[in-house]
Structure 1
């Protein structure tokens, strides 16, 4: 088994801002109307790259498809299907991206959900990649899952309240040759930011299990360095973009969301 650990410092996201943003997204979606297959924002503007392909708008089972052609004909991927739409209980979507290249077919299915938009408790992401065709397709696929306990994240990040019994953010990934688990725990930094410690464990599977210690003995230092550099890079992007976003509220944030939807 290989173990990795690294700590990054992140700009904080106020809980009230996240709740406001999620509620505004719900309001914006519910104010959008289906005009046949096309979708119109509350001000009447058409969304340029999305059509309602199946079902009733925002009802469970409604499927939306991205479009690339100017005539609005749907492309083969990706598609977004509503699994649940209830701001008090759960909102969830299934996003499917498919590559039908005969030499290497691939299908990626992601399920993204949040428990209660009105008072967010938890969020999750599950992904499954399946491949076929070509050589060794079983070694190209896998599954992964992330779970964020929103009720524990902010108390831990502020240093207030009881210390959570488990990491607020946890995840796992399974491949034919390996299984990885990851956790992230926030702590308050002296300047009010978040210091987030990320831990990961990697176990070999199948014939790779006895080989992992040998591989880590050879490339262990470089692997730990790459792990730290990847997290530092992600933290840098977060810190470059998040502070500007959290200062936008009300109509300014709503206009920014609408502008993002209208971008081709």
Structure 2
């Protein structure tokens, strides 16, 4: 088994700001009119590039598809389906993308869940890549799970000491030949920012089980350096963009998102 650990320092995000953003996104979606020929924002402006393909707007089973720019028809290879839409309970969306390339046909399914929009407490993301056809199909697919406990995150982020309890953010990536588990734990830095420690463990599966220790012995130092450098780059991008975002109110971000959806 290979183990990796690295700590980065991030600009903090106020919980109230996140909650206002979630509310603004729900307001934007619920204010959209799906009647007539297509979707329209609350101010009447048409929303190009997306149509309600089946079901009732924002009801479980409602399915949305992007519009093909060539012929104006709905794209059969991509869809967003509403699994749940209740501000006080759960919001859940399923995004499906099909790849019809003869060389590697497959389907990517992502499910995003939030409990609840009124006061976000839990968020999760699950992904499944399922190739089809060919003897090696099982080696090209995999699945991933990511879970964030928002109550635990802000509680840990306010503390200066690491706690022994369960990590607020955790995930797994499973492949036929390997399984990777990741935990992310924040704590308060002396200057008020977040010191976030990321730990990852990789374990081989099937006939690849004995190969992971060998690869770790040979490439361990290089792999750990690459792991740390990737996290440092992500932290730099976060710190360059997030402080400006958190100075904006949720309604302002919602308006900017609406403008972005309209395109040039």
TM-score tier after normalising by the smaller chain length: over 0.9
Instruction: Quote the offset at 1:251 in angstroms.
Output: 4.0
- Give the corresponding residue for 1:170: 170
For this pair of structures, how many residues does the alignment match? 264
What root-mean-square deviation, in Å, do the aligned CA atoms of Structure 1 and Structure 2 show?
1.7
Contact 2:21 2:251 in 1 (8 A): no
TM value normalised by structure 1: 0.95
1:220 aligns with 2:209: no
Instruction: Quote the offset at 1:103 in angstroms.
Output: 2.3
1:105 and 1:158 map into 2 onto residues whose CA distance is 46
1:161 and 1:260 map into 2 onto residues whose CA distance is 41
Distance 1:210 1:178, change over 3 A: same
Which 5+ residue runs of structure 1 have no aligned equivalent?
none
TM value normalised by structure 2: 0.95
- Give the corresponding residue for 1:143: 143
Contact 1:112 1:126 in 2 (8 A): yes
- Give the corresponding residue for 1:35: 35
Superposed CA deviations along residues 136-185 of structure 1, whole A, max 9, x for unmatched, are 22111000000000011011101189947200000001100000100000
SS in 1 for 2:75: strand
1:148 and 1:72 map into 2 onto residues whose CA distance is 38
SS in 2 for 1:109: strand
Instruction: Quote the offset at 1:125 in angstroms.
Output: 0.1
Distance 1:216 1:84, change over 3 A: same
1:187 aligns with 2:187: yes
Distance 1:179 1:161, change over 3 A: closer
Superposed CA deviations along residues 228-260 of structure 1, whole A, max 9, x for unmatched, are 111111111111111111111154223212122
Instruction: Quote the offset at 1:81 in angstroms.
Output: 0.2
SS in 2 for 1:35: coil
Distance 1:62 1:103, change over 3 A: same
Instruction: Quote the offset at 1:70 in angstroms.
Output: 5.6
1:20 and 1:225 map into 2 onto residues whose CA distance is 38
Q: Where is the strand percentage greater, Structure 1 or Structure 2?
A: 1
- Give the corresponding residue for 2:209: 209
- Give the corresponding residue for 1:197: 197
- Give the corresponding residue for 1:99: 99
1:78 aligns with 2:78: yes
Larger RCO: Structure 1 or Structure 2 (Cα < 8 Å, ≥ 6 residues apart)? 2
Runs of 4+ in 1 over 3 A off after TM superposition: 160-164
SS in 1 for 2:34: strand
- Give the corresponding residue for 1:241: 241
